[in-house]
Chains A and B, each alone.
Chain A
Amino acid sequence: MAEITYREALNQALREELDHDERVFIMGEEVGYFGGAFKVTDGLLATFGEKRVRDTPISELTIVGAGVGAAMGGLKPIVELMTINFGLLAFDQIVNSAAKIHYMFGGNAKVPMVIRAPQGAGHQLGAQHSQSLEAYFLHCPGLRVVIPATPADAKGLLKSCVRQDDPVMFLEHESLYGVKGEVPDGEHFVPLGQANVMREGKDVTLISYSKCVYDAIAAAEALENEGIDAEVIDLRTLNPLDIGTVVESVKKTARAIMVYEGWRTGGAGAEIAAQIYEAAFDHLDAPVERVATLDTPMPYNARLERAALPSAAQIVQAAERLM
C-alpha cells in the first residue's frame, strides 16, 4: 500500500493501461506537452510518445467523435475533456453516437472508449465552469457513469473501465486531485457496480459519491456526537448502480439522505430515491431527503457559492429532521 493522491492514482492507472495494451491511447486538449489541465496525464507523453498521447485542437465535438470512430476501428481511446463544462459541446457524439452504437447496430459494433472529465464547483469559477453533470449521463442508456471519490477507487475503477467494452463517462472532481489515500500496490481493479460502505451505522444512511462522500463522512462524525449513528455509502458508479447495497442499508436504518453536488432537481439523488421507494417503501420511517446544489447556475461570489453548494452542516440538519 502506498499513500498517493487521486491525481497520481489516475496517472498510474493510465500509465499501466497504456503499457498493458497498445490499442490504448489518450487524446485531449493540453494532455501531452502540458500534462493535462489538472496534470493527470503528466509525464505520459515522454514515456509513450506522440502516437499514444495526442494533443488536440479545441474541438470537443470532434475529439469525442474521433474517439468513437477510433474505438469502432479497433482502438481503445481514453479521451480527456478539459472539464465537463466543455464536454457539453461533445454531447451529441456522447449521446447520439457513443451511447447508441452497440444497441442501434444490433450488437454488431462496440465503442470501448473512456471519456474522462473533471467537474465540480468550489473555486469561484462562476456559472459556466462549476457544473456537476453526472445526471445528464445517468439519464442516457448505453453509457457507463463512473464517479470515484478516493485515490484507490480512482485507480481501480479507471483500470476496469479501460478493460471493458462500453463507453464510459469517468467523472473526476476538481477538488479531489490533491486528496491522498492508500492505494494497493500492483495491479488494482475495482469492479463497476459495487458500492462501498465507508462507515457502518444503524440510524440513517447517507448515500453519496464523488467529493460529497467526504462531506457525508464529516457529517456522520458530527452526528455521532449527537448520538445519531450514520451509515455512509459511496456509490462509486451510477451506471451500473448497486441499488442492492443501498436497499439493504435502508432496510436497516429506515432513513436515507442523498448527498450530491449536481442540481437538486432531476439529480442522481432523485433517481436513487425513487428506487429506494420502489424496493424498500415499507421499511422507511421518513421520506428520503436530498442535500444537493440549489437549482441555480453557480454564482461567482464566495458567499453565494457557499449558499448554493451542499455542505456537511446541511446533511446534519437533514438527519436531525429525519430522526
Chain B
Amino acid sequence: MEDLNKELLLDLYHTMVRIRMFEERVRDLALKNEIPGFVHVSIGEEASATGVCAALRHTDFITSTHRGHGHLIAKGGKLDRMMAELYGKRTGYCKGKGGSMHIVDFALGILGANGIVGAGLPIATGSALAAVVAGRDAVTACFFGDGASNEGTFHESLNLAAVWKLPVIFVCENNGFGEFTPAQTVTSVRDIATRAQAYGIPGLVVNGNDVIEVYRYASEAAARARAGGGPTLLECKTYRWEGHVVGEQAFLGAAAYREQAEIEEWKKRCPLIRFQQYAIASGRISAAELKKIEDETLAELDAAVAFARESPLPDPAEVTEDLYA
C-alpha cells in the first residue's frame, strides 16, 4: 500500500465503515419492522463495492443489484436520502416508491439497484455504449452475484460488450450462495472468472475481502476500458455473513444451508479488520485516525435515521405521479 496516497487509503476505510454501519443499522431496523419489504445486506462484502468504486470517476456509471446499499454508498450515495427511501418517505431517493431494491442517484452515475437477478448486465452494456457514442471516456462498473452469472443476460452481455469493445467492468461478487443454494451446486465452473475466456476477454479472480487488491484490479480494468481495450470480468471472492434477506431465520426453520463455523471462519477475514491491520502495520495511519472515521460515520448515520424518521410520508395522490416522462 506504500504507493497509495494516504487520502485514498482513508477514503477506502471511510467507505467501508459507512457501508458496514449503514447496513447493520438497516438490518436492526428491519428486524424491528421499522423498515418493511425485502432488505438484503452485504455485510462482510464491503471491499468489492468500495475498491471498485474508488477506481471510478464521478462521471462513471454503475449498475447494482437487490443487494445494492454498498454499491450506492461506495459511489457516493447519501445516507440520509437512502435511509429515507427505506422508510418509504417522500424525501427518499425515489420519493418512497422504490425501497431497498430500487435506490438510485443519477447525479452520481448510479443507474439503479435492481430486483431482477441479472438485469443490470445488459443495462451496463448499454450505458457503456452511450458513453462511447457520446465520445466520453466514462466506464460502467456492473455489479452482480454468482447466481446472476447463470442467467442468459450474463452471457449475452459479455459477448456484446466484447464484440463492441465496450468500457464495462463486470464485477461478479461471488459470495458463495444464491439465496439458499451453494454456488457450486448450480454453477458449471469453480471460478466464474474463467467464463470470460468464452468471450475472449480478461477474467480475473480477486480477493474480494481485500479492498486494496480490488482497487488495483479495478483500476487496471478501468484504464483498459477507457483506452478502448474493452470489458473485463473481475470475480471478487467474498462471503455473505448475514442471511440472504433480513429476517430469513423466521422462515428458514430447520433448513439451515450452511454451517455456523463457516460463517465464523469468514468473519476472521473481515475486510475492515484486514484493512485496519494493514494500515496500522504500515505506520502511516494511526488507530486514532480510524476511530475518528468511525465516530464521524456514526454521527452521520444517526442523523440519517433521524432525517428519515422525521420526513413526511408521500400523499396517497402521489401514487399516479411519475408514470410517464
Contacts and interface: CB of A to CB of B under 8 A. Distances in A.
Given A62-B152, A86-B116, A304-B314, A299 B178 contact: no
Interface residues of A, number: 38
A317 interface: no
A11 to B, nearest CB: 14
B244 to A, nearest CB: 10
Interface string A67-100: 0000000000000000001100100000000000
B320 interface: yes
A59 B152 contact: yes
Interface string A276-316: 00000000000000000011110111111011100000000
Contacts of B178: 29, 57-58
Interface of A is mostly: loop
B116 A307 contact: no
B320 A34 contact: no
A55 B116 contact: no
B148 interface: yes
Contacts of A296: 319-320, 323
Given A58-B148, A126-B101, A304 B96 contact: yes
Looking at B94, B181, B323, the one whose CB has the most chain A CB atoms below 10 A away is B181
Nearest to B117: A58
B189 to A, nearest CB: 12
Nearest to A128: B115
Contacts of A294: 319-320
Interface string B239-281: 0000000000001000101000000000000000000000000
Interface residues on B, range: 35 or more
A126 B257 contact: no
Given A33-B181, A34-B255, A86-B117, A307 B147 contact: no
B127 to A, nearest CB: 19
Contacts of A297: 97, 323
Contacts of B148: 58
Interface string A83-122: 0011001000000000000000000000000000000000
Interface string A51-66: 0000111111110000
B180 interface: yes
B287 to A, nearest CB: 41
Contacts of B99: 124-126, 300
A85 B152 CA distance: 16
A274 interface: no
B309 to A, nearest CB: 15
A30 interface: yes
A126 B186 contact: no
A129 B316 contact: no
B65 to A, nearest CB: 12
A49 to B, nearest CB: 15
B151 interface: yes
Given A34-B181, A58-B151, A126 B115 contact: yes
A30 B117 CA distance: 15
Interface of B is mostly: loop
Contact of A61 (B152, B186, B255, B320): B152
A86 to B, nearest CB: 7
Nearest to B188: A57
B150 A299 contact: no
A179 interface: no
Contacts of B319: 294, 296, 299, 304, 307-308
Nearest to A306: B316
Contacts of B257: 33-34
A23 interface: no
B316 A303 contact: yes
A3 to B, nearest CB: 22
B181 to A, nearest CB: 6
B284 to A, nearest CB: 43
A83 to B, nearest CB: 10
A35 B36 CA distance: 24
A303 B97 contact: no
A169 to B, nearest CB: 19
A57 B187 CA distance: 7
B318 A129 contact: no
A303 B101 CA distance: 18
B167 interface: no
Nearest to B316: A307
A198 interface: no
A33 B178 CA distance: 13
Nearest to A39: B251
Given A58-B178, A129-B101, A35 B255 contact: yes
B223 interface: no
A125 B38 contact: yes
Contacts of A125: 37-38, 99, 101, 115
Contact of B150 (A58, A123, A307): A58
A85 B101 contact: no
Contacts of A123: 36-37
Contacts of B147: 57-58
12 contacts: A33-B255, A34-B179, A55-B181, A55-B185, A62-B152, A123-B37, A125-B101, A126-B98, A126-B99, A301-B97, A301-B314, A304-B319
Given A299-B97, A301-B314, 4 more contacts: A57-B147, A58-B178, A126-B102, A300-B98
Interface of A: 29-30, 33-35, 37, 39, 55-62, 85-86, 89, 123-129, 294-297, 299-304, 306-308
Q: Which 10 residue pairs spanning A and B have beta carbons closest together?
A: A300-B99, A301-B88, A57-B150, A301-B96, A128-B115, A57-B186, A124-B37, A307-B316, A124-B36, A307-B319
